Amino acid sequence: MDKIRIRGGQSLSGTIPIAGAKNAALPLMAACLLSDEELALSNIPHVADIASLAALLAQHGVRVSLNGDDPNQGCQGRVMGLRAETITNTEAPYELVRKMRASILVLGPLLARVGKARVSLPGGCAIGTRPVDLHLKALEQLGATIEIDEGYINAFAPEDGLKGAHITFPFVSVGATENLLMAACLAQGETVLSNVAREPEITDLAECLIAMGAQISGLGTDRLTIQGCEKLHGAHHKVLPDRIETGTYMIAAAITDGHIELTNTRYDLVEALCDKLIEAGVPVSETETGVLVERHHGKLTGIDVMTEPYPGFPTDLQAQFMTLMTKAQGAAMITESIFENRFMHVPELARMGARINVHGSSAMVRGTKTLKGAPVMATDLRASVSLILAGLASSGETIVNRVYHLDRGYERLEEKLAACGAEIERLKE
């Protein structure tokens, strides 16, 4: 298993181009199942989760092509073609789904397109049990019959297809919103989804579905109305920038007293983080093509943060922000309200000298002047990158083990940081 070695202490400065959002690209890829024509997606990030879903779609009969890779532009020019002309297999097997939970996003499209699906339950992961009960209950409201058998979801649509319905989610779920939005596009009649997630990735998916011929209104609000139609046609869609990658590198600039411009992204996608960084004393500004963070030895003040559904502070930036707070003056209370076990980075940060006490869903961070490099263990995608950030801001050497977690969601991470002056390298095992 690869490791990453960091020698900390440099102030980072330079420019980092942001890739397309992994958490937008995954549902967008699943949307290809809704049509027999080609869906072309550009700005697809080069990360492991994308390859995992491409493999799953291929075994459903989707023809996946990648072209336009331009070595000079990174993957900027890359276009992924996905064509589900015929769906030859409606089963999503455990060995593929367990590797990538977002595989559950094929359930709604398969049910809507061919009327049946046998999808492995994703199982839990490091950050929580992550059930899919909201997905299943809502699909039943569209008329589906769903049974759980030997760890698989067996789902069937009525003979004459799914029927539109008024569905109110008991609480906000990004994945359930995406599954139901896709299924409703081919259901008969009108579907109203209330209390939906408002993440930008949902809006991006809706815009792509509209380009494919779907009739959707209420984008960006907590209620989406979909008029079902017979079929969807092909389209070309550009994946929106990755707001979590953007926020991660913004924090890299802040924690190393650096100066980094993030390009190919948008300030509005990271507004909640910008507000918190400015409150903590870190200068952040909007630029033509993204965001600029330039901290010059200014005071870094400990502040409280609670994760919430969008437009609140994103749970996917909680670990990274906590790492920043370990270097702040004073105390910071970090509260995780979305997942039940998303503090796996805390014991690893403690090995580097961070002072953090966890009480239930809250962690009290007491800032310290110095962190010391140490060998640490990555446990999940965002916890892993928080350890990289800690290593950048530590004296001495940090070795992050099990970096396959990182490779699921960060494209060319060490290259992007090294280009800004970080002493970071991958140790191939």
Residues noted as catalytic: 125
Q: How far is the CB of 176 from ligand EPZ (least distance, A)?
A: 5
Return the H-helix or E-strand segment holding 235: strand 235-238
Q: How far is the CB of 104 from ligand EPZ (least distance, A)?
A: 8
Edge-to-edge strand ranges of the sheet holding 375-377:
375-377, 397-401, 3-7, 423-427
Q: How far is the CB of 360 from ligand EPZ (least distance, A)?
A: 15
Q: How far is CA 9 from the centre of its chain?
A: 29
Q: How far is the CB of 384 from ligand EPZ (least distance, A)?
A: 10
> What residue ranges bind ligand EPZ (CB under 6 A)?
23, 26, 102, 128, 130-135, 173-176, 197, 315-316, 338-339, 381-382, 409
Query: Of 65 and 129, which CB lies nearer to ligand EPZ in the complex structure?
Result: 129
Closest CB to ligand EPZ belongs to which residue? 175
Query: Of 102 and 165, which CB lies nearer to ligand EPZ in the complex structure?
Result: 102
Quickly count: other Cβ atoms within 10 Å of residue 69's Cβ. Answer: 13
| CA separation for the pair 22, 206 (Å, rounded) | 16
Query: Of 257 and 336, which CB lies nearer to ligand EPZ in the complex structure?
Result: 336
Alpha-carbon distances, residue 365 vs 23, 31, 321, 330, 424 (angstroms): 29, 41, 11, 8, 26
| CA separation for the pair 202, 205 (Å, rounded) | 5
Alpha helices (H) in 256-403, listed in sequence order: 271-279, 318-325, 345-350, 381-392
Q: How far is the CB of 321 from ligand EPZ (least distance, A)?
A: 14
Query: Of 258 and 321, which CB lies nearer to ligand EPZ in the complex structure?
Result: 321
Query: Of 187 and 205, which CB lies nearer to ligand EPZ in the complex structure?
Result: 205
Q: How far is CA 153 from the centre of its chain?
A: 24
* Beta carbons within 8 Å of 427's beta carbon, 6+ residues apart: 2, 3, 4, 5, 399
